[in-house]
């Protein structure tokens, strides 16, 4: 009886010692507090835009023979041969200025050599001069402009041209205005047979 009690006690001690040794050598599982949790977000990468390629150019090339290519050059050469050579030609001489003739009035010269009606020139000069009003100009002492015009048989003034300018625009305009206001002049004399009388009239300014 005593031997069984001792055997039972020894067995219990052995079991307890084995449990203690097993707990020492076998590590306990880590608690949930000691575990670290990592969160990973999955990001979708943006797709790169597709590379745009230039559209293919579909050009067709026509092969031209040497004969066809030389045709335009031959046509150009023929055109140059047919073109008048204006540069090589001498220009026509300019017409000579008509000869003028003096009268009894220093302001009037005529295209006609023998105009035998001085009274008519006096009437012409008086009517034109009465419309020629030129105020005094500072710094100007002398000016002259010559205007050519024609008097037809009815006395109308035509073909007014500034033959020699005074280089003063105001003075030249005043002379032209005097002719416009004097138009028409008296009719040409009955004995004058030509259709018009060419007149070179000098407008003068002097201090």
pLDDT of residue 150: 98
Question: Does residue 129 sit within a domain?
Answer: yes
The residues near 167 (Cβ < 8 Å, ≥ 6 apart) are none
- Say how far apart CA 137 and CA 205 lie, in whole Å: 10
Cα-only R_g, the chain = 62
Conformation bin of residue 121: beta by default, left when phi > 0, alpha when psi is -120 to 50: alpha
Q: How does residue 85 score in pLDDT terms, banded at 50, 70 and 90?
A: very low
pLDDT of residue 9: 64
Is pLDDT above 60 for 88? Answer: no
Whether residue 204 contacts residue 105, with contact meaning beta carbons closer than 8 Å, is answered with no
Question: How are strands ordered across the β-sheet holding 196-206?
Answer: 101-102, 108-110, 196-206, 142-152, 157-164
Q: Which domain holds residue 177?
A: 101-206
| Total number of domains in the chain | 1
Whether residue 202 contacts residue 124, with contact meaning beta carbons closer than 8 Å, is answered with no
Question: Does residue 192 sit within a domain?
Answer: yes
Question: Does residue 85 sit within a domain?
Answer: no
Q: How does residue 94 score in pLDDT terms, banded at 50, 70 and 90?
A: very low
Q: What is the pLDDT of residues 128-143, one digit of tens each?
A: 999 999 888 888 999 9
Whether residue 78 contacts residue 171, with contact meaning beta carbons closer than 8 Å, is answered with no
Question: Does residue 191 sit within a domain?
Answer: yes
Sequence-ordered strand ranges (E) for the chain? 101-102, 108-110, 142-152, 157-164, 196-206
pLDDT of residue 101: 84
Q: Which residue has the higher pLDDT, 72 or 177?
A: 177
Question: Does residue 8 sit within a domain?
Answer: no
Question: Does residue 28 sit within a domain?
Answer: no
Q: What is the pLDDT of residues 42-69, one digit of tens each?
A: 555 555 666 666 666 555 556 556 555 5
pLDDT of residue 137: 87
CATH code, domain with 184: 3.30.1150
pLDDT of residue 189: 97
Is pLDDT above 60 for 188? Answer: yes
Q: Which residue has the higher pLDDT, 97 or 204?
A: 204
pLDDT of residue 160: 97
The C-alpha angle 158, 164, 169, rounded to 5 degrees, equals 90
Q: Are strands 108-110 and 196-206 parallel, antiparallel or unpaired?
A: antiparallel
Question: Does residue 123 sit within a domain?
Answer: yes
Q: Which residue has the higher pLDDT, 141 or 16?
A: 141
Mean pLDDT of the chain: 77
pLDDT of residue 136: 87
Provide the whole-model pTM: 0.54
Whether residue 166 contacts residue 172, with contact meaning beta carbons closer than 8 Å, is answered with yes
Question: Does residue 15 sit within a domain?
Answer: no
């Amino acid at each position: 009886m005593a031997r069984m009690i001792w055997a039972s006690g020894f067995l219990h001690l052995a079991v307890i010692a084995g449990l203690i040794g097993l707990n020492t050598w076998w590590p306990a599982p880590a608690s949930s507090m000691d575990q670290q949790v990592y969160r990973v977000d999955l990001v979708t990468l943006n797709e790169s835009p597709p590379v745009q390629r230039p559209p293919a150019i579909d050009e067709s090339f026509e092969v031209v023979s040497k004969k066809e290519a030389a045709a335009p050059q031959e046509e150009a050469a023929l055109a140059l041969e047919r073109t008048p050579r204006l540069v090589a030609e001498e220009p026509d001489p300019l017409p000579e200025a008509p000869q003028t003739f003096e009268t009894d009035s220093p302001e009037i010269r005529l295209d006609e050599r023998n105009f035998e009606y001085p009274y008519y020139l006096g009437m012409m000069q008086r009517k034109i001069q009465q419309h020629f009003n030129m105020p005094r100009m500072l710094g100007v002492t002398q000016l002259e402009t010559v205007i050519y015009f024609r008097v037809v048989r009815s006395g109308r003034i035509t073909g007014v041209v500034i033959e020699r300018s005074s280089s003063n625009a105001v003075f030249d305009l005043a002379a032209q205005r005097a002719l416009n206001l004097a138009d028409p002049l008296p009719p040409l004399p009955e004995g004058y047979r030509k259709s018009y009388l060419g007149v070179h009239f000098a407008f003068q300014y002097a201090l």
